Structure formats: structure tokens, C-alpha cells
């Protein structure tokens, strides 16, 4: 249902823009013209892209909570799309699309977006009631899983029952308990999988029509991460796209260069603005340089616009409301413009657009000693954005680093152009201040 709502939103946007464009060309324009054979057809496609991008950016149709939220987000998306095409028309100095099409679309998409948001909300409720989880694991696993399911899982689900193997009498039967709670998915921890009596009973539940997942596989499918508590060396011996699929690696690098080249133009323009801003409220060097660990554990210098005081200690963990950040630096961070000089790293091949975030040398040394398999993340080129960044907030401790590593392992296992595109989309959504799928 939620997927249908997304498809309907995008197809509906295209139908409105193209329908109004064709009507204008045939019945309003003087003289009439063939819309599909005119230059305006390409700009109509651009307008569709702007509207769909704006809708995704503000969180439609998935993240609307209630009618007021749906109305507000729909208006924001429509105004952003119409404003974007209007700016392009001013820049080009010509009427790329008639006002009838631009503003008529902005009016008509709002009720359509609201309907799609309602459809998605209904689908979300059905998904939550459809995926009912019975967990066979320790109490600590149950508590962690319940917390994870509350915070924007990839697939909604509810924990409706559990069984702790160690607390049960030898040979204890939990099938009746499980059946009474009517689960749709039975999840087994590694400890439960090692108990032959548990496996025998779960087989009976499977024969009764229930899905069965290991805890690690459930985390992958429903939460988009790989739990460290469940990992063994063999579990991490999977193919990594950038390492084992040469074509993917070449395409990924080509995309990075294709983005970096026009990005240099944007960097030059923004650099001039930042120079002026630094004179007013952020006196000191314009660029911040720091050595980070890249692919194959090779160090490189990363570039950003400086956001902290020049005398600030740069080796401490960065927090969301860091007191070392200057007022102008806070503006750069809020708009994500401080990351723009990394275009240079992207062009030189130190970074990719998508990948694990590069860490400082001394943190890598500490975390490698503390966290099993940490070095695995250095088999691929680090990224400007990544799965861990869009799924998890600021990392300000070893515990946060361990949490983010679970998402990075998921990225390594599923690395591909499709997942990269999802990450870029969610990054754009986070720039608009919206989180989620």
C-alpha cells in the first residue's frame, strides 16, 4: 500500500503536468502547437522531476502524520516545485512553461498529495499489524529490538511476545504461547538456534505457516543493519560490491567524477560567499584540513569549510550542539555547505559520494582495538554520505561508533547502485529536515 502511494504520487504528478501542458498547447495557446514536439516537453519533464524531488524531500507520502501535517507538506512541496521552475525561467529569461501549467499544477497536486499521504498512512498501520514478531532470545535482545522497532525501521513491525530459552525448564514448550499471540514472524537469536529443542518447536511453527528469521537476518530485512552481538567471522564473509564487482566499481567512480566536475563551479561560487561570511563572523582560515583514514587504511587530507573557532581542539568527538562552533559556522553546518569542499576529495578519489564516513587516525586505532571486524569498513572508498549517516545521528562516543558500524556492515553487504541511490535520496530528505524512509 505504501509503495502504491509513492507510485501514485509520482505518476499523478506526471499526469497533471503533462495533461495541463497538452491542454494549454491545444486550447489556450495562440496559435496552438504540438506540445510533445516542442522544447516545452523537456521542461515539463524537468518540472515533474522538481515536484517529485520536493515531495520526497519534505517527506511525502510516507512521513505525514495526520491531516494537518499532510496539508502542510503538500503545500511545501507544491510551492518548492513551482518556485524552482520559476527561478529557472528567470535565469533563462524566457517562458519555459506557461503560468497556466506551473500554477495550475501547484494547485492540483496538493489534494493529490494529501490523498497519497492518507493512503500511505493506512498502509503503514496495516504493515504494523501485519508483521507481528515473536522473539526467542534473551531479555536484553528483546529490549533492544523493541527500541529499534520504535525508531523508523525499514519495515514496520510490533514485538508481541517472547520466550527466553535460559529461563524455561529443560524441554519447555513455547509453541502454545507463540500461537496464542498470533505472530507472523518468529525470530531466533544465535543462542536459541543452538538449542535443539527450540529449533524443533520453531520447525512446527514454520509448518503452521509462520515465517522464521534469525535475529541477524531480521535486523537486516526490517531494520537495515547487522547486529554486532550476532556477528561471527563467517557471517562477514560476503561479497562487497566495490571489491568483488569490477563493473559496479567503475560505474560508481564515473558517477563520482560526473558529480564532482560541475560541483567545482558551485564550490567556487560558495567559496566567495564564505570568504565574506568569515570576515564578519568567523575570522580565521577558510578551510579546515584534517587527516582521515581512507580505503585500504591509507591516510588522506579531508577538506571542509571551517565551522569552529581557530583555536578549537579538532581531535575531540563532534557533537550536534558543539560549543566550539561559531555562529557563522553553525549556519554552514545547518545548510550543509561546510561539506562542499569535499568535492575536491571526490574528484581526487579520496572519497566517493556514498560510503562509510572516514574517521580520524587515532579514532581508527582505538576502535580497531575495541570493535571486532572494524577494519572491514576500509575495504571500500569512504563517502561524503552513507547508510550510517542517514540512519543514525551524530556519533560522539565509542558506543555511537559501534552503533554506526552495524549500519556500515549492512551497506557493505548490500552495496550497489540501487542502495546508493536510496542513500542519496535520503540525504536530500535530511537536508530538508525530514528523516525516515
**Whether residue 435 has pLDDT greater than 70:** no
DSSP line for 351-372: -EEESPPP-BHHHHHHHHHHST
Identify the pLDDT of residue 214. Answer: 93
Gap between the Cα atoms of 77 and 108, Å rounded: 12
pLDDT band at 333 (very low <50, low <70, confident <90, very high): confident
Identify the pLDDT of residue 433. Answer: 59
**Whether residue 93 has pLDDT greater than 80:** no
Identify the pLDDT of residue 41. Answer: 94
Identify the pLDDT of residue 9. Answer: 94
- Which tops the pLDDT comparison, 161 or 351? 351
Average pLDDT for the chain: 87
70-94: average pLDDT: 89
Gap between the Cα atoms of 220 and 407, Å rounded: 9
**Whether residue 284 has pLDDT greater than 70:** yes
139-167: average pLDDT: 85
**Whether residue 387 has pLDDT greater than 60:** yes
Identify the pLDDT of residue 432. Answer: 66
- Pick from 176-185, 204-213, 232-241, 264-273: least confident: 232-241
Percent of the chain past pLDDT 90, that is, above it, reads 48
pLDDT band at 15 (very low <50, low <70, confident <90, very high): very high
pLDDT band at 176 (very low <50, low <70, confident <90, very high): confident
pLDDT one-digit tens code per residue, 369-382: 888 788 999 999 99
pLDDT one-digit tens code per residue, 228-279: 777 776 677 888 999 899 899 999 999 999 999 999 999 999 999 999 888 8
Report angle CA 222, 224, 225 to the nearest 5 degrees: 115
- Which tops the pLDDT comparison, 415 or 400? 415
Gap between the Cα atoms of 294 and 249, Å rounded: 16
205-210: average pLDDT: 88
Identify the pLDDT of residue 394. Answer: 64
Ramachandran angles phi, psi of 293, nearest 5°: -100, 125
Ramachandran angles phi, psi of 22, nearest 5°: -70, -40
**Whether residue 436 has pLDDT greater than 60:** no
pLDDT band at 309 (very low <50, low <70, confident <90, very high): confident
- Which tops the pLDDT comparison, 125 or 40? 40
The DSSP output letter for 168 is S
Identify the pLDDT of residue 295. Answer: 95
pLDDT one-digit tens code per residue, 31-56: 899 998 898 999 999 999 999 989 98
Q: Are 77 and 112 in contact (CB under 8 A)?
A: no
Q: Are 382 and 415 in contact (CB under 8 A)?
A: no
Q: How far is CA 67 from CA 61, 84, 107, 112, 221, in A?
A: 12, 26, 17, 13, 30
Q: How far is CA 342 from CA 330, 351, 383, in A?
A: 18, 8, 10
**Whether residue 110 has pLDDT greater than 80:** yes
Identify the pLDDT of residue 171. Answer: 52
Identify the pLDDT of residue 323. Answer: 75
Identify the pLDDT of residue 408. Answer: 94
191-212: average pLDDT: 89
pLDDT band at 434 (very low <50, low <70, confident <90, very high): low
CA 354 to chain centre: 11
Identify the pLDDT of residue 315. Answer: 57
Identify the pLDDT of residue 167. Answer: 65
Percent of the chain past pLDDT 70, that is, above it, reads 92
Amino acid at each position: 500500500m505504501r509503495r502504491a502511494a509513492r507510485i501514485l504520487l509520482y505518476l499523478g504528478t506526471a499526469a497533471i503536468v503533462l495533461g495541463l501542458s497538452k491542454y494549454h498547447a491545444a486550447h489556450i495557446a495562440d496559435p496552438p502547437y504540438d506540445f510533445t514536439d516542442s522544447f516545452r516537453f523537456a521542461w515539463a519533464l524537468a518540472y515533474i522531476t522538481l515536484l517529485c524531488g520536493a515531495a520526497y524531500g519534505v517527506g511525502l507520502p510516507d512521513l505525514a502524520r495526520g491531516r494537518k501535517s499532510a496539508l502542510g507538506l503538500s503545500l511545501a512541496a507544491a510551492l518548492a516545485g513551482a518556485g524552482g521552475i520559476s527561478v529557472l525561467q528567470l535565469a533563462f529569461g524566457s517562458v519555459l512553461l506557461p503560468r497556466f501549467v506551473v500554477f495550475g499544477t501547484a494547485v492540483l497536486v496538493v489534494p493529490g498529495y494529501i490523498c497519497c499521504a492518507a493512503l500511505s498512512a493506512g498502509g503503514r498501520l496495516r504493515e504494523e499489524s501485519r508483521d507481528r514478531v515473536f522473539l526467542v532470545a534473551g531479555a536484553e535482545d528483546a529490549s533492544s529490538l523493541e527500541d529499534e522497532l520504535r525508531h523508523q525501521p525499514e519495515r514496520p513491525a510490533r514485538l508481541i511476545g517472547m520466550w527466553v530459552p535460559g529461563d524455561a525448564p529443560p524441554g519447555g514448550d513455547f509453541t502454545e504461547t507463540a500461537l496464542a499471540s498470533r505472530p507472523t514472524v518468529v525470530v531466533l537469536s544465535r543462542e536459541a538456534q543452538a538449542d535443539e529443542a527450540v529449533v524443533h518447536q520453531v520447525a512446527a511453527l514454520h509448518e503452521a505457516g509462520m515465517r522464521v528469521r534469525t535475529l541477524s537476518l531480521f535486523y537486516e530485512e526490517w531494520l537495515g543493519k547487522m547486529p554486532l552481538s550476532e556477528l561471527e567471522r563467517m557471517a562477514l564473509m560476503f561479497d562487497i560490491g566495490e571489491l568483488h564487482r569490477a563493473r559496479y566499481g567503475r560505474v560508481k567512480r564515473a558517477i563520482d567524477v560526473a558529480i564532482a566536475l560541475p560541483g567545482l563551479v558551485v564550490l567556487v561560487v560558495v567559496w566567495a560567499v564564505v570568504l565574506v561570511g568569515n570576515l564578519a563572523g568567523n575570522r580565521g582560515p577558510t578551510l579546515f584540513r584534517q587527516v582521515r583514514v581512507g580505503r585500504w587504511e591509507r591516510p588522506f587530507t579531508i577538506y571542509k569549510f571551517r565551522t569552529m573557532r581557530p583555536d578549537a581542539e579538532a581531535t575531540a568527538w563532534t557533537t550536534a550542539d558543539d560549543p566550539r562552533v561559531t555562529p557563522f559556522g553553525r549556519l554552514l553546518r545547518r545548510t550543509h555547505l561546510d561539506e562542499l569542499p569535499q568535492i575536491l576529495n571526490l574528484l581526487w578519489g579520496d572519497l566517493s559520494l556514498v560510503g562509510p564516513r572516514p574517521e580520524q587516525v587515532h579514532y581508527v586505532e582505538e576502535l580497531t582495538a575495541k570493535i571486532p571486524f572494524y577494519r572491514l569498513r576500509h575495504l571500500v572508498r569512504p563517502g561524503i554520505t552513507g547508510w550510517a549517516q542517514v540512519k543514525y545521528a551524530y556519533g560522539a562516543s565509542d558506543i555511537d561508533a559501534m552503533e554506526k558500524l552495524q549500519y556500515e556492515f549492512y551497506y557493505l553487504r548490500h552495496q550497489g547502485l540501487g542502495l546508493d541511490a536510496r542513500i542519496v535520496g535520503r540525504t536530500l530528505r535530511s537536508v530538508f529536515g525530514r528523516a525516515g524512509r
